Chains A and B, each alone.
Chain A
Amino acid sequence: MGEPMIRLEDVVKRFSNSRTLAVDHLSLEIQEGETAVLVGPSGCGKTTTMKMINRLEEPTSGKIFVDGSDVMSQDPVQLRRGIGYVIQTIGLMPHRTIAQNIATVPQLLGWEDSRIKDRVAELVEMFELRDELLTRYPGELSGGQRQRVGVARALAADPPVMLMDEPFGAVDPIVRARLQDQFLDIQDRLKKTIVFVTHDIDEAIKMADRIAILNVGGTLEQYDTPKEILRKPANGFVEEFIGSERGLKRLALIKVNEIRVEEGPVVSPEDTVQRALTVMEEFGTSWASVVDGGELLGWVDAGTMHGMTTAGEATPQRFSAYVTAENSLREALDSLITSETQVAAVVWEGQRYRGILNLDQISREILG
C-alpha cells in the first residue's frame, strides 16, 4: 500500500474545560478508497477525532495528514471545502431549496452555474431523489429524504475524503438499512476515503473496511477489518463491545465463494450404478449429486438404484437447500438449519454445480 489518504500521528486532544483526555495518543492510517469506521461508547472521542481531520477541532498535540499534507499548515476554509461532511442532524440550510443546498460547496468554490446544474442533476439521479424535491425547502422533506440530500450535498464537489458522523442515525431502522445499502452501492463506484462515526457496532460491521474501536478517554482498543475483529477481539472490552452473536456476525461477512467448498460425491448420468455406489462409499454417503456437463440435475439415493444400469435412470431429486456463491455463510447457515437434509448444494449462474456445503464446514469457519 502506498501513502495513506489520512494519517493520524500520536494525536492528543484535551478540551480546556476537562481534566481528562478526549483523544489519547491516537495513531491511525486510512488507505485511499477505504471506509474506516470509528466506533465506541459515548465519551470515546470518536466525533472529536473526526472533527480534527477538517479542523473543526484542533489537536492539542500530534499531527494529522490528509493526502500527504499536514492539516494544521492549511487554510481551514480551503481544507474544509475539499472534504465532504455529513452529520446526524444533517444541518441542511432551512432557508435554501434542496437544489441550493446540494450546490453549497460548488457555489463556494465558484463553479459556473451550468456545471453546478449538471452536477446537481447527477446527484439527484444517484440518490434516487425526485426532481420536484429540488425546488422545495428542507422543512418539507421526510427524514429519509433529508438524510439523502445531506449525503448528496457532501458529495457535490466530488471530494476525495468524506467525514460522516452517524449519517443515518436520525431515521427508523428500515429506512436506515435502505440508506446504508444505497450508500454502500454508491461508495462501491466512487471509492471515496471515508471516516464514518457511529456508536452502533452492527452499522460499523456493515459499512467498514476497517473498524477502529475506541474506549472512553479516547484510547484505541483495536483497528482491523470487521472479520478480524470478530474473529479475534483484541481484549475483553472489544469482545464485550461487539456483543453477542459474534460468530453469526462474522458469518454474515463471509461469502460462500470465499471458503473452500467441497465437491462432494458427484456422478454423471452416464456413470454405471456400480461406479455411483463406489463414489458414495468413498464419501461415506448413501447419496450423490448428479451433474451433467457441469449442470446440477439433483441428487440420487443408493436405495433407488437397484436393478438399474446407469445413474441416469434414477430420477434425480431436488436438494432441499440451494445456496449461491454470492450468499453469505450466515444465509447459507439459515438455509441449512431449515432444510431436511442439512446439506446444501452450492450453485452459480443458475444451476452450475460448485459443490456441497454442510454444517461441519460452517462451524469450522466459525472456529477458524
Chain B
Amino acid sequence: MMLAQDTREPFFRPEWVSRNADRIVEQLIEHAYLTSIAVGVGSLIAIPVGVYAYRHRRAYVPVTWLAGFLYTIPSLALFAFLTTYTGLTTLTAEIGLVSYTLLILIRNVVAGLEGVPRDTREAARAMGYTPRQLLWRVELPLAFPVIMAGIRVATVTIIGLVTVTSLIGKGGLGKFILQGIQRFFSTPIVVGAVLSVLLAILADVLLLGLQRALTPWARSRPRPEGAR
C-alpha cells in the first residue's frame, strides 16, 4: 500500500478525532441506521419466505439457490450495477445490503422451524391449534433462538459491508476509510475500521442479550425432583 510513503505522518493523530468528533458520531449513527434497515427489511422478507420454503419443501432449493446467488455477487459489482437504475441513493445501498442478508436469514428461519420438536407440533395440533395459531404461538417462538442467531450473523456481516457503500456516497464509518485511502492519511482509516469492529461487537452482544431476555425457557435445565 501507499500509506507508509510519508514517514513523517504518524499512524494515528488523536487531534483529528477531537476535531471531527461531531462527524464521527454522525456517521456512527448513520452506520447503525443503514445496518438496522438492512437487517430489518431482510428479516421481513426472510421470515415469510422461510416459512413458505419450510411448508413447501419444493420451494426450498430454488429459494436458497436464488439467495445464494445474490450472496456470491461481489458487493462492489452489485452496487455499481444498481446505480445505473437507482442512482447514488440510500435505496441503492439498502437493496444491495438486504440482498446479502437473505441467504443467512432464510436458512436460519428454515433450520429453526425444522428444529421444532415433532411431538410438540403434534400435541399442539391435537389440542386444536389452527395452522395459524400453530405458526405464531408454537413454531415461530420455538424457532426464535435459531432465527435470532441468523440475525446476529447477518448484522455483523452487514456492519462490515456498509463500509463498501461509501463508494456510492453512503457508507457510515466507511466514509472515513475511503477518505483516508484517497488522502494517504491513516488516522480516519483507523477510526473507521476500529469503530466498525466495535459497533459489530456491541450489536452482537445486544442482540444476544435480547434473545436471552426473550427466551427464558431456552436456559432451563431439569432440577432434581424432591419427594413428590
User: Are the chains A and B members of one assembly?
Assistant: yes
Chain A positions within 8 Å of B, measured between CB atoms, are 54, 56, 77-82, 85, 87, 89-96, 104-105, 108, 128, 130, 136-142, 144-145, 153, 163
- Set B117, B126, B222, B223: member contacting A94, Cβ < 8 A: B117
Judge whether B52 is part of the interface by a CB distance below 8 angstroms. no
Q: Which residues in B have their C-beta under 8 angstroms from that of A77?
A: 128-130
Q: Which residues in A have their C-beta under 8 angstroms from that of B128?
A: 77-82, 105, 108
- Identify which of residues 106-123 in chain B touch chain A, using a CB-to-CB cut-off of 8 Å: 117, 119-123
Judge whether B173 is part of the interface by a CB distance below 8 angstroms. no
Do the beta carbons of A139 and B123 come within 8 Å of each other? no
| Cα distance, A128 to B227, chains bound together (Å) | 11
- Set A79, A82, A87, A144: member contacting B123, Cβ < 8 A: A87
Do the beta carbons of A85 and B123 come within 8 Å of each other? yes
| Cα distance, A136 to B124, chains bound together (Å) | 19
Q: Which residues in A have their C-beta under 8 angstroms from that of B133?
A: 108
Chain B positions within 8 Å of A, measured between CB atoms, are 117, 119-130, 133, 138, 141-142, 215-218, 220-226, 228
| Cα distance, A95 to B214, chains bound together (Å) | 10
CB distance from A71 to the nearest CB of B (A): 13
| Cα distance, A89 to B124, chains bound together (Å) | 13
Do the beta carbons of B222 and A139 come within 8 Å of each other? yes
Q: Which residues in B have their C-beta under 8 angstroms from that of A78?
A: 128
Q: Which residues in A have their C-beta under 8 angstroms from that of B216?
A: 137
Closest residue of chain A to B125, judged by CB? A56
Do the beta carbons of B117 and A108 come within 8 Å of each other? no
CB distance from B4 to the nearest CB of A (A): 56
- Set A56, A95, A130: member contacting B126, Cβ < 8 A: A56
Query: What would 14 A/B residue contacts be, using CB atoms closer than 8 Å?
Result: A54-B126, A78-B128, A80-B128, A91-B120, A93-B124, A94-B117, A95-B142, A95-B215, A96-B217, A108-B127, A130-B226, A139-B217, A141-B223, A142-B224
CB distance from B56 to the nearest CB of A (A): 18
| Cα distance, A54 to B122, chains bound together (Å) | 12
- Set B123, B130, B217: member contacting A91, Cβ < 8 A: B123
Q: Which residues in B have their C-beta under 8 angstroms from that of A92?
A: 120, 123
CB distance from A185 to the nearest CB of B (A): 15
Q: A81-B127, A104-B127 are in contact. Are A95 and B217 (CB under 8 A)?
A: yes
CB distance from B183 to the nearest CB of A (A): 53
Do the beta carbons of A87 and B122 come within 8 Å of each other? yes
Q: Which residues in A have their C-beta under 8 angstroms from that of B117?
A: 89, 91, 94
Q: Which residues in B have their C-beta under 8 angstroms from that of A105?
A: 127-128
Do the beta carbons of B221 and A140 come within 8 Å of each other? yes
Do the beta carbons of A85 and B127 come within 8 Å of each other? yes
Do the beta carbons of B119 and A145 come within 8 Å of each other? no
Do the beta carbons of A80 and B120 come within 8 Å of each other? no
| Cα distance, A82 to B129, chains bound together (Å) | 12
Interface centre among B127, B138, B223, B225 (most CB of A within 10 A): B127
3 shortest interchain CB distances as A-B pairs: A91-B123, A81-B128, A91-B119
Q: Which residues in B have their C-beta under 8 angstroms from that of A79?
A: 128
| Cα distance, A87 to B122, chains bound together (Å) | 9
Closest residue of chain B to A96, judged by CB? B217
CB distance from A55 to the nearest CB of B (A): 9
- Set B129, B218, B224, B226: member contacting A108, Cβ < 8 A: B129
CB distance from A78 to the nearest CB of B (A): 7
| Cα distance, A202 to B129, chains bound together (Å) | 34
Q: Which residues in A have their C-beta under 8 angstroms from that of B222?
A: 139-142
Do the beta carbons of A140 and B126 come within 8 Å of each other? no
| Cα distance, A85 to B126, chains bound together (Å) | 7
CB distance from A133 to the nearest CB of B (A): 10
CB distance from B42 to the nearest CB of A (A): 24
Do the beta carbons of B228 and A137 come within 8 Å of each other? no
Given A91-B119, A95-B218, 19 additional A-B pairs, CB 8 A:
A77-B130, A80-B128, A82-B128, A85-B123, A87-B123, A93-B124, A94-B117, A94-B217, A104-B127, A108-B133, A136-B220, A136-B223, A138-B220, A139-B221, A140-B221, A141-B223, A142-B225, A153-B127, A163-B126
Do the beta carbons of B127 and A140 come within 8 Å of each other? no
- Set A91, A95, A145, A153: member contacting B141, Cβ < 8 A: A95
Closest residue of chain B to A129, judged by CB? B228
| Cα distance, A341 to B223, chains bound together (Å) | 52
Interface centre among A79, A90, A139, A153 (most CB of B within 10 A): A139
| Cα distance, A78 to B133, chains bound together (Å) | 14
Q: Which residues in A have their C-beta under 8 angstroms from that of B127?
A: 80-81, 85, 104-105, 108, 153
Q: Which residues in A have their C-beta under 8 angstroms from that of B130?
A: 77
Closest residue of chain A to B224, judged by CB? A142
| Cα distance, A87 to B121, chains bound together (Å) | 12
Do the beta carbons of B124 and A91 come within 8 Å of each other? yes
Closest residue of chain B to A163, judged by CB? B126
| Cα distance, A141 to B129, chains bound together (Å) | 24
